[in-house]
């Protein structure tokens, strides 16, 4: 059987002589697909493996352009990649699907080399490998990664919503996670704390002796059991405040049961009702604007949904995005950007009823829940009020700021009966509104957005 290098040499000689009658049938035993084309890309030879992959018979392939077998959805990108490789005089390696004559498609990896000596090329040889199994495994891996990411997000939202502080470490004693309450009690932000030794973040001393207490995470790791913090323990926050705390630490295991770290759960032992309420507020509200966060918004939605079903009324979700916020943020800085978002939140709240809910969804995005509206038109009237309120100029550190917002509306029950369905519908409508605004208005420059 001819090896690939032997075949390459034979094909080069074959093309140089201009004779297409040479017998390459021995290469039908090769497991990899082989296709030989002229300089125009027309097929001169294909082996049995290539014919099987493509679903084309040998006679049908002769004279056809090699791209004719590429799946229509992949053809443009494949040809663009091909032209770029030719212009750069680089090897061509590309993954795509082959579309067979019976409509079946197969994922392949195509490697193309020039046939000839020096720069006197007579054609190209394509080696084509079936990678369908790899692609299927890749899809399974991606789906698993997506599920794992979703689980992580849900876990983080849950941990940020509870009243206790939660902090975890790796086996090396360095912080790997802390929730919102832990940030508040220690005085350190999550990103600042992660990767630091636990003793630098969780500074705990004995109230009587003032000596550091034994590291509870290390005790849990070494004993492979849940342990309680020593009595009379004081947490010294970053600003020097001392808090009497109660806590416990437990080991974290991997799938095989090996200890890989520890989690510490603690709270202020002197918490008053007022402080407890403040912690609960922090867990459910955005710290910049004071608006409810995503978790609290979902709870408000379920309550409003129960009322809407009981009274057989409609409700609406409005998805809001500030069109020109990036220009402002880039021009004035993040500090001014935060001031603007907080001021905008106040403006938007002024347009809503007490029964409605305004949520900072993230960045410069806001979501409104309108409870028990009489008709769909009410939601669009509110959207107009919000737009008119947002466009009114505001003074920020001597700059006259002009905002423009895009708003998408979804109505219960016409557009869905779950928070995810209605948010998706409103988000889609918002992007349609944003696209319309881009056509209606010229893109705002920082100078036209910020007027002194």
In a domain? residue 149: no
Residue 13 has pLDDT above 60, yes or no: no
Going by pLDDT thresholds of 50, 70 and 90, the confidence category of residue 229 is confident
Residue 20 scores a pLDDT above 50 = no
Phi, psi torsion values for 431, nearest 5 degrees: -65, -35
Name the pLDDT band for 291 (thresholds 50, 70, 90): very high
* Highest mean pLDDT of the ranges 110-119, 187-196, 404-413, 441-450: 404-413
Tell me the pLDDT tens digit for each residue of 230-265: 777 888 888 888 888 877 888 988 888 899 999 888
For residues 131 and 114, what is the distance between their CA atoms, to the nearest angstrom?
23
180: in domain: yes
325-371 residue pLDDT tens? 888 888 888 888 899 999 999 999 999 999 999 999 989 999 999 99
Tell me the pLDDT tens digit for each residue of 70-100: 998 999 999 998 898 888 888 888 888 888 6
| Cα–Cα distance, 121 to 12 (Å, whole number) | 9
Radius of gyration of the chain measured on its C-alpha atoms: 32
Mean pLDDT of 189-196: 89
Smallest Cα–Cα separation from 48: which of 27, 20, 62, 69? Answer: 27
Task: Give residue 340's pLDDT.
Answer: 92
263 in the same domain as 292: no
Mean pLDDT of 19-48: 74
154 falls within a domain = no
Instruction: State whether 253 and 276 are in the same domain.
Output: yes
pLDDT at 273 over 50: no
What pLDDT is attached to residue 21?
42
Q: Is the dihedral of CA 126, 132, 133, 137 positive or negative?
A: positive
Domain boundary among 130, 148, 178: 130
Distances 156 to 4, 159, 206, 363, 423 between C-alpha atoms, Å: 54, 5, 31, 18, 21
Same structural domain, 201 and 55: no
Residue with the larger pLDDT of the pair 116 and 320 = 320
State the SS3 of the chain. Answer: CCCHHHHHHHHHHHHHHCCCCCCCHHHHHCCCEEEEEECCCEEEEECHHHHHHHCCCHHHHCCCEHHHHECHHHHHHHHHHHHHHHHHCCCEEEEEEEECCCCCEEEEEEEEEEEEECCEEEEEEEEEEECHHHHHHHHHHHHHHHHHHHHHHHHHHHHHHCCCEEEEEECCCEEEEECHHHHHHHCCCHHHHCCCEHHHHCCEEECCCCCECCCHHHHHHHHCCCEECCCCEEEECCCCCEEEEEEEEEEEECCCCCEEEEEEEEEECCCCHHHHHHHHHHHHECCCCCCECHHHHHHHHHHHHHHHHHHCCEEEEEEEEECCHHHHHHHHCHHHHHHHHHHHHHHHHCCCCCCCEEEEEECCEEEEEEEEECCHHHHHHHHHHHHHHHHCCEEECCEEECCCEEEEEEEECCCCCCHHHHHHHHHHHHHHHHHHHHHHCCCCCHHHHEEC
418 shares a domain with 294: yes
Residues 54, 87: one domain? yes
Residue 414 belongs to some domain of the structure: yes
436 or 158, which is more confident: 436
- Residue 304 sits in the same domain as residue 272: no
Most confident among 247-251, 275-279, 413-417 (mean pLDDT): 413-417
Query: 392 preceded by cis ω (within 30°)?
Result: no
Question: Are 123 and 224 within one domain?
Answer: no
Q: Are residues 209 and 234 in the same domain?
A: yes
Q: Which of the residue ranges 20-34, 67-81, 167-181 would you say has the lowest mean pLDDT? A: 20-34
Residue 202 forms part of a structural domain: yes
Is the pLDDT at 278 greater than 70? The verdict is no
For residue 161, the model assigns a pLDDT of 62
Model confidence band, residue 431 (pLDDT cutoffs 50, 70, 90) = very high
Q: What is the pTM of this model?
A: 0.42
Res. 433: pLDDT tops 70: yes
CATH for 231: 3.30.450.20
The answer to whether residues 228 and 325 belong to one domain is no
How far is Cα 216 from Cα 267, in angstroms, rounded to an integer?
Answer: 14
Domain match, 274 and 291 both = no
Percentage with pLDDT > 90 across the chain = 31
Size (the chain), residues: 452
Residue 345's pLDDT is: 95
Predicted confidence at residue 408, as pLDDT, reads 95
Q: What is the pLDDT of residue 435?
A: 86
CATH code: domain of residue 408: 3.30.70.270
> Domain of 209?
162-280
Q: How confident is the model at residue 1 (pLDDT cuts 50, 70, 90)?
A: very low
141 in a structural domain: no
List the beta bridge partners of residue 160.
none
25: pLDDT strictly greater than 60: no
Calpha distance 270→202 (Å, rounded): 18
Burial label for 72, CB within 10 Å (0-12, 13-18, 19+), is exposed
**One domain for residues 262 and 396:** no
Looking at residue 115, its pLDDT comes to 79
Q: Is 321 in the same domain as 343?
A: yes
> In whole numbers, what is the pLDDT of the chain averaged over residues?
83
Q: Is residue 422 part of a domain?
A: yes
Q: From the centroid of its chain, how far is CA 241?
A: 38
Confidence class for position 205, pLDDT limits 50, 70, 90: confident
Residue 268 belongs to some domain of the structure: yes
Q: Which of 130, 153, 180 is the last residue of a domain?
A: 130
> How many domains is the chain built from?
3
């Amino acid at each position: 059987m001819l090896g690939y290098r032997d075949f390459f040499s034979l094909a080069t000689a074959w093309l140089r002589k201009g004779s297409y009658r040479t017998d390459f049938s021995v290469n039908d035993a090769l497991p990899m697909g082989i296709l030989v084309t002229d300089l125009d890309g027309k097929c001169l030879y294909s082996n049995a493996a290539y014919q099987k992959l493509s679903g084309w018979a040998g006679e049908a392939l002769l004279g056809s352009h090699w791209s004719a077998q590429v799946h229509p959805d992949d053809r443009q990108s494949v040809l663009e990649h091909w032209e770029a490789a030719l212009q750069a005089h680089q090897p061509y390696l590309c993954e795509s699907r082959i579309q067979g004559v019976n409509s079946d498609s197969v994922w392949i990896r195509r490697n193309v080399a020039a046939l000839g000596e020096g720069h006197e090329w007579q054609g190209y040889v394509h080696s084509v490998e079936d990678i369908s199994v790899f692609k299927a495994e890749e899809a399974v891996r991606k789906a698993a990664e997506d599920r794992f990411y979703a689980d992580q997000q849900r876990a983080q939202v849950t941990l940020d919503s509870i009243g206790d502080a939660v902090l975890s470490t790796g086996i090396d004693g360095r912080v790997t996670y802390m929730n919102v309450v832990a940030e508040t009690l220690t005085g350190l932000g999550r990103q600042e704390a992660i990767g630091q030794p636990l003793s630098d973040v969780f500074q705990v001393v004995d109230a009587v002796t003032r000596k550091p207490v034994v590291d509870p995470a290390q005790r849990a790791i070494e004993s492979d059991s849940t342990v309680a913090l020593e009595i009379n323990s004081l947490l010294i926050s970053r600003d020097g405040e001392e808090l009497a705390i109660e806590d416990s630490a437990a080991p974290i295991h991997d799938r095989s049961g090996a200890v890989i770290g520890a989690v510490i759960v603690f709270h202020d032992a002197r918490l008053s009702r007022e402080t407890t309420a403040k912690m609960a507020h922090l867990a459910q509200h955005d710290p910049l604007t004071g608006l409810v966060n995503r978790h609290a918004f979902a709870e408000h939605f379920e309550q409003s949904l129960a009322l809407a079903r009981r009274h057989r009324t409609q409700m609406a979700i409005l998805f809001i995005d500030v069109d020109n916020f990036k220009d402002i943020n880039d021009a004035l800085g993040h500090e001014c950007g935060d001031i603007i978002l907080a001021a905008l939140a106040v403006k938007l709240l002024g347009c809503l009823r007490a029964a409605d809910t305004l949520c900072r969804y993230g960045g410069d995005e806001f979501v409104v829940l309108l409870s028990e509206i009489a008709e769909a038109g009410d939601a669009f009237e509110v959207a107009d009020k919000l737009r008119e309120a947002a466009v009114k100029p505001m003074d920020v550190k001597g700059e006259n700021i002009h905002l423009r917002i895009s708003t998408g509306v979804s109505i219960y029950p016409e557009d869905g009966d779950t928070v995810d369905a209605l948010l998706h519908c409103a988000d889609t409508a918002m992007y349609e509104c944003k696209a319309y605004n881009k056509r209606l208005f010229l893109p705002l420059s920082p100078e036209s957005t910020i007027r002194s």
